[in-house]
Structure 1
Amino acid sequence: VKIIEKNPNKARQLANLLPDTLIIHGDGTDLDLLHHEDISEMDAFVATTGNDEVNIVTTLLAQHSNVSRSVALLNKPEYLAMAAKIGMDAVVSKPSLTVSAVQRFLHQHEIASIAGLPGIEAQVIEYVVGDGCQITCGELRNLRFPQQAIVGLVIRDNQVIIPHGNTTIQPGDKVLVFAQPAAIAGLGRLFEQERGRSKLSQIFRN
């Protein structure tokens, strides 16, 4: 595995983090560099910079160099739509990767399904609170609730409660949470039951 990184500081950090990987300080759009690194002998080429245009160019360069498989990270909808038309092998988008990662996490926690909200990196999750969950240990304002999540609604005995800082969650409550992917792990700890795990009863789709 070889990684080409243009930023020298990031290249050094990657070299320290990945001692078994060859980190190359250079420009991935430099065709001479790619040929020097025998790009045509590579099994695959993946472009994951923060710039869609750079990812498109480097991926097409890889294809031109007869790399058998190339993948580009794209985020702009217009580029995703035209990728096949300009002959790109494969593309992935950050939102789709995020939802996929959350799906894998939730699957590990015995949760049936997950749906992202269109256009934003967030989910709407309904938890059924079990016995012994940390979420029941005090008022919401006193809990270490993830900053990237907010409780939007509590349903108790078929009654709807609009939560405030002094709201306490009880076993048996259904709690509707709006969350970004970074908050999922923290939410899992708050809603984890003393014995076993709390389950996600439903994902609300927009």
Structure 2
Amino acid sequence: MKSLAFYNREGIGDVLLLTNGVTDEDHLIHDSKANVTVILDRTNDQVMGINIHNISNHFTPTGQGHVRLNEEERCLVKNIIKDAGFDIEIEIDQEEKFVVGYVEECIPHEDSDHLNITQTRVSDQEILQIVCGAANITQGQKVLVAKPGAVMPSGAIIWPGELRGVPSRGMICSTRELGLEDIQNDPGIWELPNHFEVGTSLAEVIQSY
């Protein structure tokens, strides 16, 4: 499994949360051993999350909310889960989630008067199909993409899904959704200057303003 890591000691307690997606809460079951709780989807036995309690007995994650773990911390997490008696292989997702994309194709959604289906390149090797409802979306734009697994400033996590029956993997963002109204505060998606290279991180984009 490939998981996102979260830590909020004040809000939740000394628990490292690993999440792997979303499912109907009625389908969830829990299995606890030692200080580890595994959350499963009982319809398919898929691991949806793992909670490691008293994580500071091993290390204290840096930051609050979505956190990135260094190599030593990732190894510790794997060993904690294994030592608790769970035979689960995990991978902590360290990939940059907010990047510059290029809209290679943009066509109207057949079942909507405002949605468009885009093919948006986010790296040399990856193109994401993203359904977008912004009025100013069009082919040939450089945009800011929240890839699957991105954690928005609101706390919402972007997971793959469907809009009006069409698969969508990611979100093309506005500055308002990113909390960057001081850079630009126009409605619609953030139209980036063309000089930004595909795959450039949001942090690098912000530094240029």
Q: Does the TM-score normalized on the shorter chain lie above 0.5?
A: no
Structure exhibiting the larger radius of gyration computed from Cα positions: 1
TM-score, normalising length: structure 2: 0.28
Q: Select the structure that is richer in strand.
A: 2
